Amino acid sequence: MTAEFVVEARGAVLSFGATPALRGADLAVARGEIVAIMGPSGSGKSTLLHCLAGILTPDSGEIHFDGRRVDTLGETARSALRRERFGFVFQFGQLVPELTAEENVALPLLLGGTRRAAAIEQARTWFPRLGLDGLAGRRSGELSGGQAQRVALARAMVARPDVIFADEPTGSLDSVTGEQVMDLLVDAARAEGSTVVIVTHEPRVAACADREVVVRDGKVTQLSAGRVAS
């Protein structure tokens, strides 16, 4: 894999039973780039993201991260990669309801072996950055949808991951709140130097990216030329 690419799929093929999801998908994402993956429902866009993130293993083809082959790794090694090098934002946030907001943000650090006090202190630094002042002690049921998604964004960013994978991060939000969350995601990623791969069906979300691609019938098509990140 060329050094300029941090994550790459080469000819990825994956079927669920008799149903093909990816049919030779190719995608290379440059370091620090924000890429939006679009496509109709069932096209394979989320499956591609899950393969890139090491959640799913393709039946054939290759997945690379930072010069390392991912699809040949065992589950333990891929789990460590997801915990230490990747961050995730999902459509409904997927916060742990028993934990406070600051504990949810600190979770990746705690799982990585950081002491609790240090993890909580680091997590708290994200609350003013994302407009969450005063909400650190609340649980997910006490947060609005937009607040919960910003907590999920802080959780994805707290360990300073190389790549953030966001699967429909604004899908459960109204348009105004969704735009706010995307602005925060892009700004935080730029500030931290993180690469971002976003699956979305919303053109306004995709417009925040440096480049858009479309997945149709399990293959990737270039939609727009990349823009140089500022």
Identify the pLDDT of residue 170: 84
- Cα-Cα-Cα-Cα torsion 57, 185, 221, 66, nearest 10 degrees, comes to -50
Identify the pLDDT of residue 227: 44
pLDDT in tens, 131-145: 899 999 999 889 988
Identify the pLDDT of residue 229: 36
DSSP letter assigned to residue 114: -
Say yes or no to pLDDT of 152 above 70.
yes
Say yes or no to pLDDT of 115 above 90.
yes
By residue count, the chain amounts to: 230
Q: What is the mean pLDDT of residues 151-158?
A: 91
pTM: 0.89
Q: What is the mean pLDDT of residues 106-131?
A: 93
What H or E segment, with its residue span, contains residue 34? strand 34-38
What's the fold here for domain 5-222? Rossmann fold (3.40.50)
Contact 150, 182 (CB under 8 A): no
pLDDT in tens, 45-59: 999 999 999 999 999
Mean pLDDT for the chain? 89
Contact 154, 127 (CB under 8 A): yes
